[in-house]
Structure 1
Amino acid sequence: MTNTEVRTGPEVRCGKEILRTALRRNAGAMTSGTLLMGCYQAAETAVPILLGVIVEYALRGGEVGSLGLALLGLGLVMATVSYSWRFGMRILQKANTTEAHRWRVAVADRGLQPVARDIDLKSGEVLTVATEDADQTADIIEVVPLLVSSLVSVVITGVVLAVISVPLGVLVFAGTVTILTVLSVLSRRIGANTQVQQAKVARAGAKVSDLIAGLRPLHGFGGSYAAFRSYRRVSTEAKRQSIVVARVNGVYAGLALALNSLLAAAVTLWAGYLTFQGSITIGQLVMAVGLAQFLIEPLKLFSEMPKYIMIARASADRMALVLAAPPRLTPGTEVPGPEGGLEVESVSCGPLRDLTFSVRPGELVAIAAYQPQAAAELVSVLSLETPPDAYEGVVRVGKQDLASLTIESLRAFLLVNPSHHEVFAGTLRENVDPAGTSTKVDEAVSAAMLTDVVALHAEGLGYAVRDRGANLSGGQRQRLSLARALAADPEILVLHDPTTAVDAVTEQLIARNVRDLRRGRTTVVITSSPALLDAADRVIVLDDGAVTGEGTHRELLGRDSSYQLAVAR
């Protein structure tokens, strides 16, 4: 899918633009669908008209052959009803599902991009927008053709009845306008209530997503019941709003049916009155009564369209919240130079104070940060979680400023593996090599000491991992995350506390393996692990957010008492 197929970012400013994009993109399918659905409605309208003509012809003593032709015509009309509906709905539903897919992809793509921190978008909300709201927005592709085809049916009915009797035609047109005016007022209320409901449901989804992510620590300190009560409150609010929407929808549907039936009854009674007066014939009465009964269905469809349009508009507005969210940073156009290496110059941000250091190409450097907040902030800066315009100083990758690089080239060149190890549902192999393109899966698994997990199961790397790694221990999940980072084999790899959940012996082996596997590649390990510090070519000491020492691990142990206290175990 090209970038022009889905408009994201600042171009999408509101729900109206999303709806206009959907309509423009599906103009061809909607035109074909509208023509076919118009044929369907016109053919259905022709059924009571033909029946009236047949009755009138029979009462006047017409020939049997002519009656047979009329019946044949009725059969052709019924065939038109069947096939035009079948193929019309096929075209519209295909366009609908395709458009919903496009918007789901657009929302998912935008949700994976960093956005400004003042935008309150949680993963659970984005999930709801990418599913329910995308589907309801795409419904506009079916709504408009059905609206037009229903209008065709109402117009044909009104014109035919006007030919029979002008007051009958006027009654149909005036009644339709009145019904739509009354229902359009109620549809606005439905749209407003639906938007509130969607927001509350999205909040509930975000809450349960957060709870699942934190289920292990919640169980650990006994907070699961309090968390459940918190979710129940949010879910109850969503339920109450859903009841409000259901109540309004019920009133809308009941009122629409009552008004449509009232109009059909009025047409029937008026036609009967005209027949008793002798103003119209029995055949015309059959025609008028048939049209009046038939009119209920297109009127029902026609009167429901404003409601569906308002729901689509509300969903489009919800999608615009995601698609129009400003990016956290504006990517540049440069790519890292061939020299490689990492430079941090005079960076001040949060706990970091005028931080300056450099890592030469192919060097393994460990950073011992005495304060965890400083380590976390450095990781945030290097991973672009903190954008370049949010801090003072410069970070260079391959001799190019971080702010000037394209996102694609930066992600390919620099990988920052955070301390929180995310594991996904799938196999071990899919977790180690999500893209399926790595040539170093086996080496990475071995270096991360994940071989014991693979050997435990007959499936090997095909062993199924449950959602969030529920069937793995904390140490296994951490080693799996490390294996994934090593398998990616970037030019520059930054590891943040990669061995905090493993035992000392395994940590020693991992430290040696990482050094050997990453030989010739630039690697930065932010850690307090003696094993990793000892494996590094050089250790940079950070205290109070600034560099206070540098040397090998053993040199620092011999001359720096603060370092001894910080890293000795």
Structure 2
Amino acid sequence: MTTTEGRAAPEPASPTTPEPVPTSAAALRSRSLRRHRRPITLGVTLLSTHQLCEALVPVAIGLTIDLAVATGDITALLWCVAGLILLFTCLALAYRTGARLTLGVVEREAHLLRLESAHRVLHPRGQRSGLRSGELLSVATSDAEQAATYARAWAVGIAQVTAIVVTTIVLLTINIPLGIGVLLGLPLMLLLLRVPAARIARRTETKQATAARATAMATDLVGGLRVLMGIGARHNASLRYGQASDHALTASVGAAASNGVYKGLVTAAGAVFLACVAGTAGWMALRGHLTVGELVIVVGLAQFLAEPVQGLGMVGQMFAIARASARRLVRLLTAPDAVTPGELSLPEPLSERVPLVELREVGHRTLEGVDLTLRPGEFLGVLATDPRDAEALVDLLAGRAADARGTTLIAGVPLPDLDLVSLRGTVLVEEHGSHLFEGTLRSNLTTDTDTGTDLDDERLLTALDAAAAGELVTGHPDGLDRPVTDRAANLSGGQRQRVALARALAAAPPALVLHDPTTAVDAVTEEAIAQGTAALRVAHGGGTLAIASSPALLARADRVLVLREGRVCAEGTHTRLAEDDTYYREAVLR
């Protein structure tokens, strides 16, 4: 079973080499490192080489002073200058190549995470993450990009540690007490900086969540703008969005404040550390424990050391942000399936003696003990006076009711036992809230994904005529190639509803479920739709179940079931029920 957005499609292949879905943020981050290990390893090597060369610059200058400048040896000076040129050449090339490799890893990983997120969202089985459309968009874009920075954070972090280790070794070589002081002071400072890093992670996660909710609300409001204008609810909607936006702003400001304080602490800590090392080295030079060249080396290394210290602080911030985004990604990727299919396939063609859909004492949400049978070629109407009953029945027939009670048979096979292709290829649900997509009228009508080919023009035009939407083609110079903007904003509500119905009719499924397909059209158009839909479905030989209160549709039905308080309380033709059942007559003919 499916909606018209994707009918009877085989399960799509994963965009990358099949891997177990990470069940935690830590597993997601580890996988990022594992699947890019070669470029990351090379990038780490080159960035570490760059930091090594950076650390050796003050060493080379100090040695030049002691070996060439202090002695006046021109030959030694020339060798030192040549060494400095070679050192700076290696420094520049190593950084350029290493940065390109690691940034490339970030872009590739972000791309893979976006594909994986989109694959999960668009999977035929669906997902129950509890995230709305705008939140899903935020996770698949912003969170994917930020989670991907984990790989670069590792590369940069290792390079900064390399710089600190080399600096410490050189300092230990020059003066052991001075080197030990640096060796003990740095870990203590980094340990203290972990406290604000945890706060950054929490505030970043809150910021991402509130921003996603605001995006989701904005998406919903834009999609329903015409309805809001029609019922005069723009002011209330604006107030609600303003509140959501204020929450997102507050969270963003809080996260930015934490980041600012953290950066300030890192800078201040690095400056204090530099002052301590430089002061100690100066005192030792005055006492004669260091030469002039060694003093230059120590002060230069201490000054250089501020860079990797600050870099490690920023790496901690990158790790915190990546962890927060990874948690949101894992929530989506590990969300349970909305539909859990079995392994049985239906034979082709289906037997005409077996009902297409059969419900036996089925209960789901507000439904209780519902019996329903849809046979091949039958037009069955269902009047649900409570919208909750209609929605529960749609969920049940769309395969989204894993907790349903009773027995649901599709072509004689229990629904939980059917594989996904058979499930979606037999019953197509045209929901009341169907969507159209940016493209053309033709691309929105073409749903024959079983064969991967487009439907022919004659079949599409026939479906449009049956849905009373033929004027969309005849009244436009581009015909079926008429442009459709995002969310079909260039079509009216009635036109969008009729195109969605035409899409379902063109698909010609064995069983078609319609949920209020004529609520946005006038009475004359409604009559034309009812007549055209019934005639086309008879021609196709498929079964049709119309969940509606439209007298025009119900009048075309072979039988009508009346759902009241979650149960079938009456059954008969539209004419007989309208004559004999007061409740039905008041509900339909009011």
TM-score, normalised on structure 1? 0.90
Q: 1:57 to 1:446 in 2, by over 3 A?
A: farther
1:45 deviation in Å? 1.6
Superposed CA offset, 1:264-308 (max 9, x none): 233223333333333222222222222222222222111222222
1:568 deviation in Å? 4.9
Residues 1:471 and 2:482 are matched in the alignment = no
Equivalent of residue 266 in structure 1, options 276, 285, 288? 276
Equivalent of residue 287 in structure 1, options 292, 297, 302? 297
Equivalent of residue 402 in structure 1, options 410, 415, 437? 415
* Residue 446 (structure 1) aligns with: 465
For the 8 Å contact 1:540–1:547, the answer to whether it is kept is no
* Residue 85 (structure 1) aligns with: 95
Listed as ranges, the matches of 1:362-511 within 5 Å are 362-387=377-402, 389=403, 391-433=404-446, 437-439=453-455, 440-511=459-530
* Residue 550 (structure 2) aligns with: 529
Tell me whether 557-566 or 398-407 shows the greater mean CA deviation.
Answer: 557-566
Q: 1:403 to 1:236 in 2, by over 3 A?
A: same
Partners in 2 of 1:98 and 1:497 — Cα distance? 45
In structure 1, stretches of 5+ residues that fail to align are none
For the 8 Å contact 2:511–2:542, the answer to whether it is kept is yes
Residues 1:189 and 2:217 are matched in the alignment = no
Aligned to 2:437, the other structure's residue is in SS state coil
Partners in 2 of 1:212 and 1:29 — Cα distance? 43
Equivalent of residue 360 in structure 1, options 365, 375, 393? 375
Equivalent of residue 67 in structure 1, options 69, 77, 84? 77
Residues 1:103 and 2:119 are matched in the alignment = no
* Residue 247 (structure 1) aligns with: 257
1:258 deviation in Å? 1.3
For the 8 Å contact 1:147–1:305, the answer to whether it is kept is yes
Listed as ranges, the matches of 1:38-187 within 5 Å are 38-61=48-71, 64-112=74-122, 114-116=126-128, 120-187=130-197
Amino acid in the other structure paired with 1:195? E
Amino acid in the other structure paired with 2:547? I
1:183 deviation in Å? 0.6
Partners in 1 of 2:171 and 2:109 — Cα distance? 39
Amino acid in the other structure paired with 2:250? R
Amino acid in the other structure paired with 2:400? E
Q: 1:289 to 1:321 in 2, by over 3 A?
A: same
Q: 1:373 to 1:89 in 2, by over 3 A?
A: same
Superposed CA offset, 1:28-73 (max 9, x none): 2321211111111112222222222222222254654553343233
For the 8 Å contact 2:382–2:548, the answer to whether it is kept is yes
Aligned to 2:102, the other structure's residue is in SS state helix
Listed as ranges, the matches of 1:259-338 within 5 Å are 259-338=269-348
Tell me whether 403-412 or 378-387 shows the greater mean CA deviation.
Answer: 403-412
For the 8 Å contact 1:337–1:399, the answer to whether it is kept is no
1:476 deviation in Å? 0.4
1:153 deviation in Å? 0.5
Partners in 1 of 2:177 and 2:371 — Cα distance? 88
Partners in 1 of 2:71 and 2:113 — Cα distance? 61
Superposed CA offset, 1:505-559 (max 9, x none): 43343334334443223332223434434444x2232242444555655566677
Q: 1:489 to 1:224 in 2, by over 3 A?
A: same
For the 8 Å contact 2:560–2:574, the answer to whether it is kept is no
* Residue 559 (structure 2) aligns with: 539
1:148 deviation in Å? 0.6
Partners in 2 of 1:6 and 1:126 — Cα distance? 22
Tell me whether 85-94 or 141-150 shows the greater mean CA deviation.
Answer: 85-94
Residues 1:2 and 2:14 are matched in the alignment = yes
Listed as ranges, the matches of 1:15-26 within 5 Å are 15-26=25-36
Number of residue pairs aligned between Structure 1 and Structure 2: 562
Aligned to 1:331, the other structure's residue is in SS state coil
Aligned to 1:333, the other structure's residue is in SS state coil
Tell me whether 300-309 or 269-278 shows the greater mean CA deviation.
Answer: 269-278
Q: 1:373 to 1:162 in 2, by over 3 A?
A: closer
1:418 deviation in Å? 0.9
Aligned to 1:139, the other structure's residue is in SS state helix
TM-score, normalised on structure 2? 0.87
1:421 deviation in Å? 3.4
Partners in 2 of 1:541 and 1:98 — Cα distance? 55
The two structures, once aligned, show a CA RMSD in angstroms of: 2.8
Higher RCO, 1 vs 2 (CA within 8 Å, ≥6 residues apart) = 2
